[in-house]
Amino acid sequence: MKKSAVVFAGYFPTPFSVQVGKEFIDYFSAHFSDCHFYVGLNQAECNEQFVTLLAQSGLSYELRIAPAELTLNSDASAYQAALAQLRDSCRTDFDYVYLFHSKGATNVESKKLRDHFLPRFANRSHVEAVLDMDRIGSYSLFLSKSKLRFEDQLSGYFPFERPYFFTYLYFHTIYAFRAQPVLDFVYGCKAEFFRTNLKDRYFFERDFPHAIWRQGYAPFGDFIVNWNDGFPAGEVDLNSDIAVYLGRPLDFRIR
């Protein structure tokens, strides 16, 4: 039987954010209870309440809190802490790695996005069938294309075989990977990756998926979004029919 890991990044500064965290715990218990979890938390006032709920859930997990000097006001440093915990676990027996973060914990409006993303990822047979396709390495709901050219943030940490693909990102930072390229990066990158303040709250939205693509794997998105041309993903009315705005599902492959 194939195995999955879940990397979860959390930020819980308020009682409301803990309620969002509880929604994620319930979701994971319903749809990912067979998985092992690597949980990273930013330093925050209500972490203890969230950890208590997590301990009561029965989920299998390891947890790490991001050091103060690395903590950002986003999911980035919490993802970094969770991946550091994965590295220290030395496990290599996973087939898929899912990445989630506490979307909506600090922004009530993000509930609309959460309500669209989470049902998609609950359909794990669909996600994993995509990841089993030849050379596909990643899956998310929105594969976004931007006209902007971002700086390469990854080459200093890992000897990639392909150049940086400047214009693509996974909008909203919830996605799944074929495990092998993730593990190759996590265990093969320089230790500085886990010790450096990333200084960019969008690192895992914009940069981290390239760690998989630059190893020769292609991304898959159910929908492709021209981020700053026509319908910016952040302005899509998610209460409407997504297909009207974003077009047909697209298997996008880097050649």
pLDDT surpasses 60 at 235: no
pLDDT surpasses 60 at 255: no
pLDDT surpasses 80 at 227: no
Measured CA to CA, the distance from residue 182 to residue 188 in angstroms comes to: 10
Residue 252 inside a domain? The answer is no
Residue 56 inside a domain? The answer is yes
Q: Convert the pLDDT of each residue in 154-195 to its tens digit.
A: 999 999 988 876 667 887 889 999 999 999 999 999 999 999
Structural domain boundaries enclosing 84: 4-246
User: Which CATH number belongs to the domain containing residue 197 in this structure?
Assistant: 3.90.550
Region 7-36 average pLDDT: 96
Residue 200 inside a domain? The answer is yes
Region 2-10 average pLDDT: 97
pLDDT surpasses 90 at 206: no
Residue 50 inside a domain? The answer is yes
189-193, 218-222, 223-227 — most confident range: 189-193
Residue 251 inside a domain? The answer is no
Residue 253 inside a domain? The answer is no
pLDDT (0 to 100) of residue 101: 93
Q: Convert the pLDDT of each residue in 70-125 to its tens digit.
A: 998 888 999 999 999 999 999 999 999 999 999 877 666 667 778 888 999 999 99
10 against 254, higher pLDDT: 10
pLDDT category at 24 given cuts 50, 70, 90 is: very high
Contact 139, 220 (CB under 8 A): yes
Would the pTM count as exceeding 0.75?
A: yes
Query: Count of domains in the chain?
Result: 1
